């Protein structure tokens, strides 16, 4: 039976745990991201009064926790030497793992990356594949090395991207796929020899953290729709109307042909205060109909009044 240590955070972390259990492996320790994210005192209070899904999952399966804050700490290294794992699995972890850690397991240290490597290396590929209007993405399990998502690939599975996908829905499908892939991978590592496939650098791409979600109506309606859907649930797309910031909701987006008299991108050609919907003309001469809210949370109850009073057909979004 393979002995596995799992390091991670969020849904990817819990699905790696589930897939490892499905494969009949022994999880000898887990390091959850909350130990790095929160000071010890705050984390203990959170575990008591507002426990996370990860914490409840670990407790429900009686999985031993590794009680350190950093994957590169001396304490973690000592714990690994004691646990003597065959494999370390990593899913959604912010630290770059140092060589003296990833070389410790008897078989490999393996990272789960939510893209079809070597494409879309880096953080949050869920956002970038939707924003770039890709038709598919995937999950890759690769060896950890001294680069960022550059290690040789052990297993991959392609995942279709639907036109209605948000970052949230794509992530949910991806982590569920990861559960099945890691189960089969661990079974293969236990029974067979797997030859890692070196990534082809000429086909690689790297994207950093997304940092700007302002809509640009000099682009097409599809491009703006992709931005709106891609950033949900981590943040909200937005635009300015008369120096007033409006946030865009990720659901209920419609794209229509333009049959109005207006031709300039950025013109408001439709409004409905009851549904908090505005229609804005884009560069491809199509109308992007979107539901909006006042960006400031405490102003949101007044969104309908703002649309009724201050938004006019023919207004130009600059």
Whole-angstrom distance, CA of residue 304 vs CA of residue 276: 6
Q: Is the pLDDT of residue 251 over 80?
A: yes
Ordered domains of the chain (ranges, CATH): 3-203 (3.40.50.170), 221-310 (3.10.25.10)
Q: Is the pLDDT of residue 318 over 90?
A: no
Q: Which of 201, 203, 208 is nearest to 128 (CA)?
A: 208
pLDDT > 90 fraction of the chain, expressed in percent and rounded: 94
Average of per-residue pLDDT across 29-53: 92
User: For residue 99, what are the CA distances in angstroms to 105, 109, 118, 301?
Assistant: 11, 10, 21, 52
Q: Is the pLDDT of residue 192 over 90?
A: no
Residue 80's pLDDT band (cuts 50, 70, 90):
very high
What is the pLDDT, as a whole number, of residue 211?
85
Most confident of 209-213, 267-271, 296-300: 267-271
Chain mean pLDDT for the chain: 96
Token pair 């994210």 is at which residue?
37
Q: What is the pLDDT of residues 123-149, one digit of tens each?
A: 999 999 999 999 999 999 999 999 999
Average of per-residue pLDDT across 206-224: 94
What is the pLDDT, as a whole number, of residue 198?
98
What is the pLDDT, as a whole number, of residue 26?
98
Average of per-residue pLDDT across 5-29: 97
Q: What is the pLDDT of residues 153-184, one digit of tens each?
A: 999 999 999 999 999 999 999 999 999 999 99
Verdict on whether the full-model pTM lies above 0.75: yes
Q: Is the pLDDT of residue 268 over 90?
A: yes
What is the pLDDT, as a whole number, of residue 191?
84
Pairing of strands 153-160, 136-143: antiparallel
Task: Determine the straight-line distance between the first and last CA of the chain, rounded to whole angstroms.
Answer: 62
What is the pLDDT, as a whole number, of residue 264?
95
What is the pLDDT, as a whole number, of residue 193?
82
Neighbours of 161 (CB within 10 A): 17
- Crossing angle (nearest 10°) for helices 53-60 and 10-22: 20
Residue 8's pLDDT band (cuts 50, 70, 90):
very high
Residue 106 tokens, joined: 């008897």
| Residue 189: its H or E element | helix 167-191
What is the pLDDT, as a whole number, of residue 212?
84
What is the pLDDT, as a whole number, of residue 210?
87
**Cβ 123 vs Cβ 148: under 8 Å:** no
Token pair 């569920």 is at which residue?
176
Residues 283-312: b if buried by 16+ CB within 10 A, e if exposed: beebbbbbbbbbbeeeeeeebbebbeeebe
What is the pLDDT, as a whole number, of residue 249?
96
Whole-angstrom distance, CA of residue 306 vs CA of residue 318: 18
Please, which residues have CB within 8 angstroms of residue 56's CB and are 6 or more apart in sequence?
A: none
Whole-angstrom distance, CA of residue 216 vs CA of residue 117: 29
| Residue 310: its H or E element | helix 303-310
- Going through 128-222 in order, the beta strands assigned E by DSSP cover 136-143, 153-160
Determine phi and psi for 158, rounding to 5 degrees: -80, 145
**Cβ 289 vs Cβ 279: under 8 Å:** yes
Average of per-residue pLDDT across 10-25: 97
Q: Is the pLDDT of residue 273 over 80?
A: yes
């Amino acid at each position: 039976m393979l002995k596995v240590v799992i390091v991670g955070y969020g849904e990817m972390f819990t699905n790696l745990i589930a897939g490892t259990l499905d494969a009949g492996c022994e999880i000898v320790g887990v390091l959850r991201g909350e130990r790095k994210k929160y000071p010890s005192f705050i984390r203990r209070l959170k575990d008591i009064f507002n426990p996370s899904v990860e914490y409840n999952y670990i407790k429900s399966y009686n999985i031993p926790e590794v009680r350190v804050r950093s994957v590169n700490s001396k304490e973690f290294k000592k714990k690994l030497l004691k646990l003597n794992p065959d494999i370390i699995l990593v899913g959604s972890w912010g630290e770059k793992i140092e060589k003296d850690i990833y070389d410790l397991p008897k078989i490999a240290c393996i990272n789960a990356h939510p893209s079809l490597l070597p494409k879309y290396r880096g953080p949050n590929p869920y956002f970038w594949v939707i924003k770039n209007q890709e038709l598919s993405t995937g999950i890759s399990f690769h060896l950890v090395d001294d680069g960022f998502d550059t290690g040789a690939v052990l297993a991959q599975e392609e995942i279709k991207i639907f036109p209605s996908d948000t970052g949230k829905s794509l992530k949910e499908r991806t982590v569920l796929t990861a559960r099945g892939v890691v189960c089969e991978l661990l079974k293969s590592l236990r029974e067979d020899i797997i030859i890692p496939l070196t990534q082809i650098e000429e086909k690689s791409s790297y994207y950093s953290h997304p940092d700007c979600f302002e809509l640009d109506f000099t682009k097409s309606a599809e491009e703006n729709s992709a931005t709106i859907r891609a950033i949900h649930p981590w943040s909200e797309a937005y635009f300015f109307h008369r120096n007033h910031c409006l946030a865009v909701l990720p659901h209920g987006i419609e794209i229509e042909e333009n049959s109005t008299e207006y031709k300039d991108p950025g013109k408001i050609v439709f409004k409905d205060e009851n549904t908090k919907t505005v229609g804005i003309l884009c560069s491809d001469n199509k109308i992007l109909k979107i539901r909006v809210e006042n960006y400031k949370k405490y102003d949101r109850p007044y969104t309908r009044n703002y649309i009724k009073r201050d938004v006019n057909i023919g207004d130009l979004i600059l």
